[in-house]
Amino acid sequence: MFLNSDSSYEVYIEQPKGFEEGGADNVWKLKKTLYGTMQGAHDWAKNLNRTFEGHGYYRSKTDLQIRSRVIGDELMIMLIWTDDILGALLTIKGEIQAKDELQSSYEIKNLGNA
């Protein structure tokens, strides 16, 4: 999921062994964020927050990793841990809607029930 975020700063990394281009002393400039970098986690969190806000979710004031919204009779609660999302929904219809919305923004993998 981190690769869905543009890097907000210039970040350079050493070339991985076996993938050196132009000499082993050269470095790569990242175009996208990368898992394992401090900036990557920050940029991914900002990107994900914009996505949830765009779908009408609100952030909890007590735990910033919880998003929720109400549409009609449907309460949707999303819990985020880095790049994992756990949804709590009242109906199957709400579950399908939430997954479709996230899939419209990202390539997701459904791991089934928690």
pLDDT in tens, 50-109: 999 999 999 999 998 999 999 888 999 999 987 788 999 989 898 889 999 989 988 888
Residue type, 114: A
Angstrom distance (rounded) from CA 13 to CA 34: 10
Q: Give Cα separations from 37 to 11, 12, 44, 51, 102 (angstroms).
A: 9, 10, 11, 21, 24
Taking CB atoms within 8 Å and a gap of at least 24, the contacts of 12-16 are 13/37
